[in-house]
Amino acid sequence: MRRYLQLALLGFCLLLLPGCGSRKELNEIGIVIATGLDGSKGNYRITTQTIVPSAMFNGTGGSSGAGSSLGVYVLTTQGKTIREALLQSTLTNPRQLYFSHNNVLIIGKETANEGISELVDRYLRNLDTRETVKVLVAEPSAQEILETLMPPEKLPGKALEELLDKEKTWAPYYTDTSMYDLALKLSSESGGVGVPEIKLEGSSTEVMKSQEAFKTTAPPARLTLSGLSLFQGERRVGSLNQRESLAVSWLLNQVKRDTVSFASSQEGDEQEESGQEGNKQRKAMSAYKVTSARVKVTPVKTEDGFRLKVKAKVAGELNESDSMEDISSLSGIRHLEEQIEREITDDLNLGWKAIQKQQVDVLGVADQIHRKYPKDWQKLKPMWREQFAQMKMEVQVKASIKRPGLIVQSFHKLQEQIHHGQNRD
């Protein structure tokens, strides 16, 4: 009898357990992998890029069964608010949008210039959005970017995410700005942040919106990371080009891998074989692969105010060399290291001058002063942007060549030694 009572109690408990009443089948949802925002306040346009599951089993992302389809479907809707624009998609899309796999958010330049406070508010307020989504600024519109394919990848949204990966061998931008980072820095004392820019370059851009993009080995247009948008508060106030963006990446300690190309003018007896004695300047080009880098930016208080002290420690390998230096000697290696240090120093100064000109403290110098010198910060805060534009910077770079490569001397120097030796014989 006791056993029957236990079984009855167990059955009753099982009835109280929650089931799968709120489940959604895969054929009922549209998996969003990228989102775009265009327009202005009171007139927003939301563009979503969703996966087409039936096309994912094809070799080219083109044909599937009797018909043909691409790997993604792009839908643009309009509304007075971001939420209203999203709800408009239910009138034309039979599937419910599912944002858990949305990893890229693209903001049109018009929207970025006007302000993104409503966008940030939505991402921080709602459970169906992710603060880890990566943010980009599009020129001219997010809709155009999301409608563009990126051969040979089937999923352009996923390809954009990979394009921003920090672990790439060459990282020319302050990459991987998430919505969380954006909100955190815009609400900080400095109020400045950099967001990567993307644009469509080339001719015949309409071809990149159809299957024709997969039928050529050299697409007539492509999506390209073009620079860095600078935000002050909620608004975009300026931008940096590629080289300036890389320099800011160095200052932000975001560069983990990079290639530094440097040149040096060296003296050589190029006219020795003609019997004339004289020196001729020769420009040698070399490439230095950065394998590790650490940059520390510290504001220092002085009698005249504050100055910025930058210390950079870089290690890497010599990938290419056309130098006549004796790389087998410590003095020759040190001479190359000094050239690398000068090149990196120039880049750091370039990035500093670029953000000073825009008066946007993307380095968070204001936050460091606020933490370390709170009383001084209260005096500086009302006129911080002007003070930031006048601040001096001191740079110290220490570069080391860990590996010179498989050959000690440059191939050019080996040739010179062989030919000069033959001439003397």
Pairwise pLDDT comparison (234 vs 25), residue with the higher score: 234
Q: What is the sign of the dihedral through the CA atoms of 344, 349, 354 and 355? A: positive
Distance CA(410)–CA(288), nearest Å, equals 14
Report pLDDT digits (tens) over 243-297.
999 899 999 998 888 888 888 655 444 433 444 444 445 567 888 999 999 999 9
Task: State residue 279's pLDDT score.
Answer: 45
Q: 91: buried, middle or exposed (CB in 10 Å: 19+, 13-18, 0-12)?
A: exposed
Nearest to 317 by CA among 291, 284, 285: 291
Q: Considering the chain, what percentage of its residues have pLDDT values greater than 70?
A: 79
Beta bridge partners of 261: 287
Task: State residue 212's pLDDT score.
Answer: 86
Determine which helix (DSSP H) or strand (DSSP E) holds 40, and give its type and residue range.
strand 29-40
Give the pTM: 0.83
Structural domains in the chain plus CATH codes: 27-240 (no CATH), 258-424 (3.30.300.210)
C-beta neighbour count of 299 within 10 angstroms: 22
Nearest to 359 by CA among 341, 330, 385: 385
Span 375-401, mean pLDDT? 94
Report pLDDT digits (tens) over 133-167.
999 999 889 999 999 999 888 899 988 988 887 55
Span 339-365, mean pLDDT? 95
Span 102-129, mean pLDDT? 91
Task: State residue 266's pLDDT score.
Answer: 55
